[in-house]
Amino acid sequence: MDLEELSARLDALDYPARQRVLADTARSLAGSPALTALLAELDAQPGVARMWAITMAIVAGDQTYVRGCLTSPDMAVAGVALNHCVRRGLHLDVIAEALPTAPMAWRTAFYRALRGSKSLAWGDSVLSSVRERFGDHEAAAVLPACDTETVAALLPELDFAVPNMEALALRHPTVVLDHLRRRLTEAGETERADVWTRYGAAVRSLLRHDVGQVLELLEQRGPVTGLPPGAGRWLVMLAKAEPERAAAILGDPGRRIRFDPSRGLCQALRQASDTALAALVRAAIGDVRLTTLLRRFPPSQRAELLDGALGGRDIVAAGLPVSVLDLLPWPARHAHARRLLTTRRVADDPQLLLEVTARLPWAEAEPVLRARTARPVAAEREHAYPLLIGAAAATRDPATVGRALASLTRLPNEQDPVRRTAMQAIAAIPLWLLAASDLPQLEKIATDALDARDTSWITRRAVESVAMGLVRHGAVTTDSAVVDCGLRILELAGGHNRTLNLRDLNRNLPRGAEHAVFEVLRPRIAADARVDRHDLALALAQGLHRRAWAMPDLQDYLAAAVTAAADHTVRQAIDLWLAPPATRSERVEAVFDRDPSTITVHSVSNAISGRRTDLLDRVLGRPLHGRFVNRGVQLVPIFPGSLRNWLPRQTALYATLLADLATAPGKSVWERTAAVRRLGSLPGVGADAVRPFLADGEVAVVETALAALAWTDRPDRVLGELLGYADTDRARVAVYAATRCARSVAPAALLAALRPVLAGRKVTSRKEAVRLVAEHRVPGAVDELTALWADPDLHRDVRRGIVSAARWLLDDSRMWTVLADAATAEPAVAAALTDARTFTVAEPYRARYGVLVRTVAGHPDPDTARAGLTAWPAWAAWDRDGAASLVTVSCDLDSTATWRVAVDGLITISALTGDAAPLRAVATTLAGVDDVAGPDRDLPAHQRLRYVAESLVSRVGMSGEALRLVTQALSEVLVGFADHRADGLALAVAALPRRGDLLPALRGIAAVADRPVLAWRVTDRLAGWLAAHGTERPSLLDTARDLSPTAAGALLAVGIADKAGPRAGWSAPWRDLVLALRENADPDVRERALRIVMASE
């Protein structure tokens, strides 16, 4: 068999049948000279024919041809061969020989195949050579394909470059977990968030391996605040394994964790103790997620959880809306309402009083609410109607709801704002509370609302919501009367012009129930179909999703909708009718036969392009007219995807049509650019088809052609052509396209192609060339870059590009010489060193790089020095000697430009290391200076110390224990200086322990605050600290009592009572404490205590 005969056999077939013929032919010719000759013929053809050849060779087991394809310049063919050989352990010698000189695209395909292979031997065999030749980043890409011992040995050095930590954890969870523990142990508290961010994607795989160890890391070394990124993907898994500990983490008030209370998560958390869950709910108070969180728990559990979270307060005192009571079972709801009615705050607020009354038993609430609906002021009625309807629904008694609806006789005569809120309340009624006898009244209410002269779109939307809810509920319960009522209301509202929403209906139905739903809706679907309306059938099919595929009668109605009059209906119907894969090939032919213009519908074009390629001749060979394309319009569909399922002649014909479209007179620019863009990516067409458009008169077309060259089958052949535009106005497109081409060029050839650009005039192009030289690690890259650096006239932006690119080549000492030179170069170049983040530099080089950043921090240019001082603290964990230089800058009173940045850096270092010595040195030095006051300077040392204290106070609250201890140590230094005692006390309050007993620390503060002004100010600080860090500690009352004997201590006790008293609902012990403080002998204590209001007037 030759190529002509094979092509004849394949010509009339669709893609699946063609693949079967190729496989059958390969098997029948396996081992024969005929197969060798046929493969040679196919290989001589560009594009799709080569893919046929490699497919047949793999099926026939022709290892000679497969071996040759491993080094094919066509990356699509080489990728298939690589994947096949790696997975089956074939031809490693060829791969190993090609690897050192292979293009990046080839290497990437090889690494991907390695990671997908079950064998780990190949990864170990090539890792060392890959790392030596192409650096850490490519070695890290191979790491998941290596054995456990190799990963354990190299992960500490390569973790910064691992592209997919989740894939690595999936293969080697033990190693990754041990390494994560090591990283978290080494990291300071403020660095932990960065570590978790880096490893967040791997947590799910690690949890599958060992939940206990991951949970322990989260408890002991989790982020100071919040959860690691991506926690939503694995939080449910954690809660299912350890609900008690998971609830404790989520409910920790110090971490301020915000999480999505999903149904799965809360279902898992139900197994936790009530104490842990109450703490969880308490942490959510004041957050919009509280309502959702409570709703996720069983009603019988909600009251106890809410009571535990409130801690004796009522919901109004806790700042919660009264609507929270609607989540509670009726006994608890009524009890809370009765309690609230006894409070003055509720009794004195008419609106709040009515909302609470609505939560009483119906017999007590109904007369009050009914009377309010008859008030003369419309705003009062607007408030009362929803409460009346909601109170009736809260009884969960259909008879009560029916009577309430029947009593709304005044509603038709109301103003629209009143009707609107009433309809919104009706829409919120659980539909199972509606009896069949209530439907006429509900329909009348909706009709009256729609017929009103002043009805608004918001009211119409509320009516539509009621109607759609009825249709959905009737469908689920198979109640045709409810469905019909909803549909009638929807028609009155004009809702038939909008899509009927039955989305995700399949999630609420038992298996097989979809047939009963369809039978209920069938009469209406059939009636609608007779008048060419198909909204209900389409909505049902969309809501049932896959279940609709096995319902022949519903599929028949979808087929009828394909010929509807409305274009939008036809498009939706086609998409739904072609959804079942089993019948898609047959149905797409029927759709296309009926109307060729449906090729403009994505589901049709995708099916024809991907499977029914036998229909392409009819698409490409004649004009396409119909519903969606008028006669006389030249339509050339723009098919998505690679089009490698097409025949070569179909691709060639399509290329001709695209070229004609792109050159046709009168076509818009966007049509022409779309055609050129698609033309460049056609398999087998090549760059010659695109080149004519490089001379087009339209700039957009020229730039599109330049970009399209990079997507041809052989991008390596057009690299030089694109780089020829590097010094022109088209460089912004051409050089970007050349970046993609460079991936298909061997490193040895790439440098020769880039040299003219490196020596060119356009700075942007030169910078990109520098990056490509370094990233691809071309042979002689360091020689080229160092020679370029040595040019005294080199543009500063190119130098910045070299500094950035040097991070790919840090294993060469010559690049360190370049970086050291850059650190003392002109400001713009030196500042480039500060752009690097620690996780972009391999760990063995971080100390050395940190020294460079510290050098930039000492740059004579103030702006550059500020950039260095800002960046250096991130490197402090490796550059341990740098803190002393920041201390010097902070204390140098002759320098005024950078001391603030230096102080900020020292605080960051202290948070990372927990070392108070640098800040203590700053405080001691500045406090001992003889301060001056002059025309342009006023107490500089005093101001700097004040800045240190204020900066610490502002940051310690959001930092971890390390910075708190540093702040505490610094406060002990400052309180020893009379002029700085106020700042020391501010630090002492900010450093109060976030857990445990506050009494020892507060006694020490009271002892130091020996002047009234100090005691008063420190009390203000304490009140603010309590507000930020919670007032739920059970020992606060005893602490306040124990502080009361001294004047300063009594003031602190007032501050505690001011914040903790309301939190406790002003229980008797707290009231007694405040009353006693008002009788204190110290007038300052009395005045402060009198400012506390325990009950608002």
Cα–chain-centroid distance for residue 118?
Answer: 31
65 or 229, higher pLDDT = 65
pLDDT one-digit tens code per residue, 111-121: 999 999 988 88
Contact 786, 113 (CB under 8 A): no
Look up residue 57 and give its two tokens.
């060779």
Encoded tokens for 430: 């659980």
* The pLDDT value given to residue 634: 82
Domain termination site, one of 171, 200, 231: 171
From the number of C-beta atoms within 10 Å of its C-beta (0-12, 13-18, 19+), residue 511 rates as: exposed
Of residues 534 and 1, more confidently modeled: 534
* pLDDT surpassing 70 at residue 308: yes
Angstrom distances, CA of residue 345 to CA of 317, 380, 923, 1071, 1089: 9, 20, 50, 18, 22
Please give the average per-residue pLDDT across 265-272, as a whole number.
93
To the nearest 10°, report the CA torsion of 147, 149, 151, 155.
Answer: 180
Residue 185 lies inside a defined structural domain of this protein: no
Query: 1031: domain range?
Result: 992-1097
How far is residue 901's CA from residue 918's CA, in Å, rounded to a whole number? 15
Max Cα–Cα distance, the chain, nearest Å: 113
Give per-residue pLDDT as tens, 959-977: 788 899 999 999 999 999 9
pLDDT tens-digit series, residues 173-205: 999 999 999 999 888 777 888 899 999 899 999
pLDDT band at 96 (very low <50, low <70, confident <90, very high): very high
Q: Read off the pLDDT band of 495 (50, 70, 90).
A: low
pLDDT of 237 reads: 93
Residue 318 lies in a domain: no
pLDDT digits (tens, 9 = 90+) for 661-695: 999 998 999 999 999 999 999 999 999 999 999 99
Residue 771 has pLDDT above 90, yes or no: yes
Q: In whole numbers, what is the pLDDT of the chain averaged over residues?
A: 92
pLDDT attached to residue 762: 95
Fill in the DSSP letter of residue 856. Answer: H
Angle, helices 48-60 vs 15-29, to 10°: value is: 50
Which pLDDT score, from 0 to 100, does residue 323 have? 93
What is this structure's pTM?
Answer: 0.87
Among 79, 72, 49, CA closest to 38: 49
Point out the domain boundary residue: 132, 150, 171: 171
Residue 251 lies in a domain: no
CB atoms within 10 A of CB 370: 13
Answer whether residue 1033 shows pLDDT above 80: no
Q: What is the mean pLDDT of residues 92-115?
A: 95
pLDDT in tens, 1066-1079: 888 999 999 999 99
Q: Is there a domain that residue 1004 lies in?
A: yes
3-state secondary structure of 246: helix
Position 706 confidence tier, pLDDT thresholds 50, 70, 90: very high
- Amino acid found at 1078: R
Write down the pLDDT at residue 499.
Answer: 59
Q: Is 21 within a domain?
A: yes
Look at 105-114, 237-246, 482-491 and tell me which has the smallest mean pLDDT: 482-491
- What's the length of the chain? 1097
Contact partners, residue 598, CB within 8 Å, separation at least 6: 570, 574, 591, 592, 604, 626, 627, 628
Contact 1041, 1077 (CB under 8 A): no
Tally of domains in the chain = 2
Q: Which two tokens stand for residue 558?
A: 């979808």
CA distance 1010 to 409: 72
Cα gap 901→65, rounded to integer Å: 65
Q: Which of 451-460, 495-504, 790-799 has the lowest mean pLDDT?
A: 495-504
Percent of the residues in the chain that have a pLDDT greater than 90, as a whole number: 78
Question: Residue 394: is its pLDDT beyond 80?
Answer: yes
In this structure, what are the phi and psi dihedrals at residue 490, rounded to the nearest 5 degrees? -65, -40
> What's the confidence (pLDDT) of residue 785?
97
Radius of gyration of the chain (CA): 37
Q: What is the pLDDT of residues 166-176, one digit of tens each?
A: 999 999 999 99
Give the pLDDT of residue 552.
95
- Final residue of a structural domain among 133, 150, 171: 171
| pLDDT surpassing 80 at residue 290 | yes
pLDDT at 992 over 60: yes
pLDDT value at residue 498: 54
Question: pLDDT at residue 489 above 60?
Answer: yes
Residue % of the chain over a pLDDT of 70: 99
**CA of 322: how far to CAs of 300, 341, 392, 1067, 1086, in Å?**
19, 12, 16, 22, 36
Mean pLDDT value across residues 791-804: 96
For residue 938, the SS3 value is strand
pLDDT the model gives residue 626: 92
Cα(53)–Cα(35) distance, rounded to whole angstroms?
Answer: 10
Check: CB of residue 34 under 8 Å from CB of residue 60. no
Contacts for 862 with CB less than 8 Å, ≥ 6 apart: 897, 898
User: Under the phi-then-psi rule, with left for phi > 0, alpha for psi from -120 to 50, and beta for the rest, what region is 31?
Assistant: left
- Number of C-beta neighbours around residue 455 at 10 A: 18
**In a 3-state reduction of DSSP, which class is residue 933?**
strand
Residue-level pLDDT at 642: 81
Does the residue 920 lie in any domain?
no
Distance CA 106, CA 102 (A): 6
497, pLDDT greater than 70: no
* CB atoms inside a 10 Å sphere around CB 968: 18
State the residue for tokens 């200076």.
929
Indicate the pLDDT class of residue 233, thresholds 50, 70 and 90: confident
Assigned domain for 423 exists: no
Residue 945: inside a domain: no
